[in-house]
Amino acid sequence: MPVAVVPRCLHNACMTNITIRDVPDDVHTELVARAAAAGQSLQAFLTDWIRSLAAKPDPAQLMRVARERVAESDAHVTTEDILRWRDEGRA
C-alpha cells in the first residue's frame, strides 16, 4: 500500500514573505505605535491588516459585479423613485 508523504510546515516555513522598501520613518513610527496599542508585534499587526484587506472585494471588482447585476435584473429604479420613497418614509 502506498504511503503519502505530507510535508510539515514549521512556523513561517510555508508562508510567503513580503518586503516593503522605502517606508517613510513617520509611517513606520505610526505603524509601530498602532501595533503596540493593539498589543501586537508590527509583523502580526500588518499580517492581520493585510488579511483583512485581502478579504474585502476590490472596489473596481465590486462596481463591476454591481453593474452586471443591474444589467441582468428586471428592476428599473430611478433616482426619482429612490428620493420619493425616502421622502415618503419621512412623512
Residue at 17 is within a domain: no
Tell me what the mean pLDDT of segment 64-88 comes to.
Answer: 87
Residue ranges making up the domain that contains 29: 25-90
Residue at 53 is within a domain: yes
The per-residue pLDDT for 52 is 95
User: Would the pLDDT of 13 be above 70?
Assistant: no
Q: Can you read off the three cell numbers belonging to residue 83?
A: 428620493
The sign of the CA dihedral 38, 43, 46, 48 is negative
The per-residue pLDDT for 2 is 56
Residue at 71 is within a domain: yes
Give the Cα separation of 45 and 32 in Å (integer): 9
Q: Can you read off the three cell numbers belonging to residue 20?
A: 516593503
